[in-house]
Amino acid sequence: MAGNEAGHGAIVRNRDLIDVRIEAPRGNRKQVVYEKILSLIDITDEPSKHLKSNIMKCSQLFGLKMANKWQIVGQSRNRLLQNQVYWLDKIIYRINNDSEENTSSDEEQEPPCRSVGWPRVPFEEASKTTKRRRVAELTTDRSANELQFAVNVVSGSNHTSHKFLVLVQLKL
């Protein structure tokens, strides 16, 4: 963040955004939530590109989770408040005055953005299907000469650190 953009330790929880999200028009919900987050963290200057990006990611993630929770409770605000208390109290965005960055030191805080899909499984623990898919990705990304050289290096050396370096370079 540039300059003095943040207020004094601003915190945004899911609970702070539900009314805005529920009342927002259908095509404009993401933008309305984004603007609400900006107002809650008390931006005084023009926010930096990095801050805008983080807040937009938080807005999108909140919108996706809120839509799911909203369906689960049958689109009832009262049931949402009763049944999703833990989720509503989670911090989705925090700015500390010292670092002026989004922090993740709190146990109850969710990351501003998570990667999509399942976590990547190590090659040795992967199923045969996953191994075949990764090998297919390697063969399309790498030339035959690169792969042959990697095989020669690994098979000609018993040093595990050397094998590890080759595997890291190939991104297995």
For the residues 82-108, what does the mean pLDDT come to?
67
Total tally of structural domains belonging to the chain: 2
Where is mean pLDDT largest: 3-17, 28-42, 138-152? 28-42
Q: Is residue 152 part of a domain?
A: yes
For the residues 40-56, what does the mean pLDDT come to?
83
Using only C-alpha atoms, the chain has a radius of gyration, in whole angstroms, of: 23
Distance CA 36, CA 63 (A): 13
Q: Is residue 108 part of a domain?
A: no
Instruction: Report whether pLDDT(152) > 60.
Output: yes
Indicate the average pLDDT of the chain.
76
Q: Are residues 16 and 89 in the same domain?
A: yes
For the residues 47-73, what does the mean pLDDT come to?
87
Distance CA 96, CA 57 (A): 19
Q: Is residue 52 part of a domain?
A: yes
Min mean pLDDT across 52-56, 106-110, 120-124, 159-163 is at: 106-110
Report yes or no on whether pTM surpasses 0.95. Answer: no
CA 14 to chain centre: 16
> Percent of the chain scored above 70 by pLDDT?
73
Q: Are residues 25 and 87 in the same domain?
A: yes
Q: Are residues 90 and 129 in the same domain?
A: no
Instruction: Write down the residue that tokens 């199923």 correspond to.
Output: 127
Q: Are residues 77 and 149 in the same domain?
A: no
Final residue in a domain of this structure, among 73, 94, 115: 94
Q: Which amino acid makes up residue 84?
A: Q
Distance CA 121, CA 60 (A): 26
Q: Is residue 36 part of a domain?
A: yes
For the residues 81-89, what does the mean pLDDT come to?
88
Residue 136, class by beta-carbon neighbours within 10 Å (0-12 exposed, 13-18 middle, 19+ buried)? exposed
User: Which residue from 107, 111, 106 is spatially nearest to 92, judged by alpha carbons?
Assistant: 111
Q: How many Cβ atoms are within 10 Å of 52's Cβ, its own excluded?
A: 14
Q: Are residues 83 and 128 in the same domain?
A: no
Instruction: Report whether pLDDT(55) > 50.
Output: yes
Cα distances (Å, whole numbers) of residue 19 to 78, 90, 134: 11, 16, 44
Q: Which amino acid makes up residue 141?
A: D
Q: Are residues 21 and 87 in the same domain?
A: yes
pLDDT in the model for residue 116: 63
Q: Is residue 153 part of a domain?
A: yes
Q: Are residues 89 and 129 in the same domain?
A: no
pLDDT in the model for residue 170: 63
pLDDT in the model for residue 17: 92
Q: What is the DSSP letter of 102?
A: B
Q: Is residue 137 part of a domain?
A: yes
Q: What is the DSSP letter of 15?
A: G
User: 144: domain range?
Assistant: 123-170
Q: Are residues 19 and 79 in the same domain?
A: yes
